[in-house]
Structure 1
Amino acid sequence: MSRAGLGEGVPSGNYGNYGHANSGYSAREEENKHTERMRRQVKVIRDLTIEIGEEVKTQNKLLAEMDSQFDSTTGFLGRTMEKLKILSRGSQTKLMCYMVLFSLFVFFVIYWIIKLR
């Protein structure tokens, strides 16, 4: 068949379904552009998500370290407070004994001074 048999007077070209030249091609080209743009956006979002995940892991690790440090500090302070309580109980008794002994010593020194006069 010759070209004349397909439709005389119609210029050659791709007219698609609606009779517009290259309309199917340009629609696919637009779709490809949108698809490419969406692919880039998805890649950016994916990269951001990966970075956020890595940051969360790092922050969780730091929080775990801080938690263990706080626990050890709490234990250390607790032991120190217990020692201070023991010290304060014991030192009050010792302090009272020292005060009584000092008072007796001063009393005997004054008595001795008065007796020698």
Structure 2
Amino acid sequence: MRRAGLGEGGPHGNYVASGYSVHEEENENLQEALRAKVNALKHMTIEIGTEVKYQNKMLEDMDSDFDSTGGLLGATISRVKQLSRGSQTKLLCYMLLFALFVFLVLYWYIKLR
């Protein structure tokens, strides 16, 4: 027993079968497009993960550099404090010698130009 309207027999059967195959083909095309988009998203997330790992490594390196710089700066500040605890005459003498040195270097540089 054949049923009309299920793709077999009758004038409407061929129309239903061809409509079904059109929808099936459209679904397959949409599946392929979705599959391509999912693959693109997968590759993008992998690239993002790689970039995040690289950025985290850079941040860790910067953190260690800042720690070492902070230690160096702390040592320098303690030396400046120790220098300021000494007599003001020594400090003034050091500043005067440094200024004289800078002026001599600048004079020499301008003269050779």
Residue aligning to 1:56: 45
Give percent identity, aligned residues only: 8
Shift of 1:86: 1.3
Displacement of 1:49 in angstroms is 0.5
Bigger Rg, which one:
1
Other structure's SS at 2:86 match: helix
Q: Deviations over 1:23-65 (max 9, x none)?
A: 2222111111100000001110110010011011111111111
Report the structure, 1 or 2, having the larger helix content: 2
Amino acid at match of 2:16: A
Q: How does 1:1-117 map to 2 (within 5 A)?
A: 17-18=3-4, 21-97=10-86, 99=88, 101=90
Q: Distance between the aligned counterparts of 1:86 and 1:76, measured in 2?
A: 15
- Corresponding position of 1:13: none
RMSD: 2.3
Partner SS, residue 17 of structure 1: coil
**Residue ranges of structure 1 left out of the alignment (5+ in a row):** 1-15, 104-117
| Larger RCO: 1 or 2 (CA < 8 Å, sep 6+) | 2
Structure 2 alignment gaps of length 5 or more: 93-113
Q: Deviations over 1:55-102 (max 9, x none)?
A: 111111111111110110011011101111111112211233252546
